[in-house]
Structure 1
Amino acid sequence: MKKSLPGVALSALMLMSGSAVAADYKIDTEGQHAFVNFRIQHLGYSWLYGTFKNFEGAFTFDENNPAADKVNVTINTASVDTNHAERDKHLRSKDFLNSAKYPQATFTSTEVEKNADGLNITGNLTLNGVTKPVKLNAKLIGEGKDPWGNERAGFEAQGKIHLKDFNISKDLGPASQDAELIISVEGIRQ
């Protein structure tokens, strides 16, 4: 019995030290290392690209236990920027984002699962006063220590939303019913 007890203790210690622990990260928007972008077809002839300049968020990441992962992001909808002032003003109106009534959009994850290429992140997106589930496909770009001693992790994610699901009333034709999301974030471990 004495011989097996140290072996069990050593095995347990090795298992504990080899497993990763969920870590909390703040999205680095101050250093401009995070982007919430979108694209939508313009009448079926070309792509219109845009971004949200003002947002904040955090995520929890555990490479070995995706069920422990979480994502929370809040976006200032009035910060929409498509590189055209009049179009941006229209996007803030009741026809699209309704920023005066709903100044924030939020995304809160409800489930994270591994897939062959990375992670499936399912969560609730609240936009224009409507909350609907959205799925993002995410990939870990990299993680490690930065030159200033901080631990960082970066991800890229893509997804799609159907505008009418969020009571966006303006109809720009059949090619412009969905907006594609292109998200890139770098987080600093807290």
Structure 2
Amino acid sequence: MMAASGAASAADYVIDTQGAHAFVNFKIQHLGYSWLYGRFNTFSGDFSYDAQKPNESKIKVVIDTASVDSNHAERDKHLRSGDFLNVKKHPTATFTSTNIEFTDADNAKVSGEFTLNGVTKPISFDVTKVGEGKDPWGGYRAGFSGHTRFALADYGIEQDLGPASTHVEIELSIEGVRK
């Protein structure tokens, strides 16, 4: 989810999807009776972060929409169809930050452009820094979690799932390895 910036003092990180230390999860109400949970299994990204200048951070994430996984093959097939993600026409979703504003050392509002289903709109995430430091293999890592909520209709997804199911919640857990 996170993209490298040109800030000279910032460290650049690649999201650790190889070690499965990052997740893009979602949930949506099912007819107002329960929650349906899922995730995207394939995504990539990078970010730039400097604890001394956190508001200069940059983030970019690219999601393979065909990797949607709700733990139900037939539902996933429907989610990939033109009714929802339309993966044949729009194989990726992207988020690119445009502004990051830390309110303290660990909490920020990350704003940017989110493209889903061929529609690009501004969106914001509430983000918390989980931690940073050396890892046991001689590298250096930084991790963040974030969440947001948006209307499906804002991204051209008009499938009627009932009045309780008009919005989806996204949760990100991102651990980056310094390059």
Instruction: Please give the TM-score of this superposition, normalised by the length of structure 1.
Output: 0.88
User: 1:107-149, CA deviations, whole angstroms, 9 ceiling, x for partnerless residues?
Assistant: 0000000125601000100000000011001111110000000
2:155 is aligned, of 166, 172, 182, to 166
2:38 is aligned, of 39, 47, 50, to 50
Give, in whole Å, the separation in 1 of the partners of 2:51 and 2:133: 13
Moved over 2 A (4+): none
Q: Verify: 1:71 aligned to 2:59, yes or no.
A: yes
CA RMSD of aligned residues (A): 1.2
2:26 is aligned, of 34, 38, 60, to 38
Give, in whole Å, the separation in 2 of the partners of 1:147 and 1:64: 24
Residue 67 of structure 1 and its aligned partner are, at CA, apart by 2.8
Give, in whole Å, the separation in 2 of the partners of 1:174 and 1:38: 18
Larger radius of gyration, structure 1 or 2? 1
Residue 161 of structure 1 and its aligned partner are, at CA, apart by 1.4
1:181 is aligned, of 163, 170, 175, to 170
Residue 63 of structure 1 and its aligned partner are, at CA, apart by 1.9
Q: Verify: 1:100 aligned to 2:99, yes or no.
A: no
Alignment of 1:18-167 (within 5 A): 21-116=9-104, 118-167=107-156
In the alignment, structure 2 segments of 5+ residues that lack a partner are 1-7
Give, in whole Å, the separation in 2 of the partners of 1:60 and 1:162: 29
Give, in whole Å, the separation in 2 of the partners of 1:92 and 1:50: 13
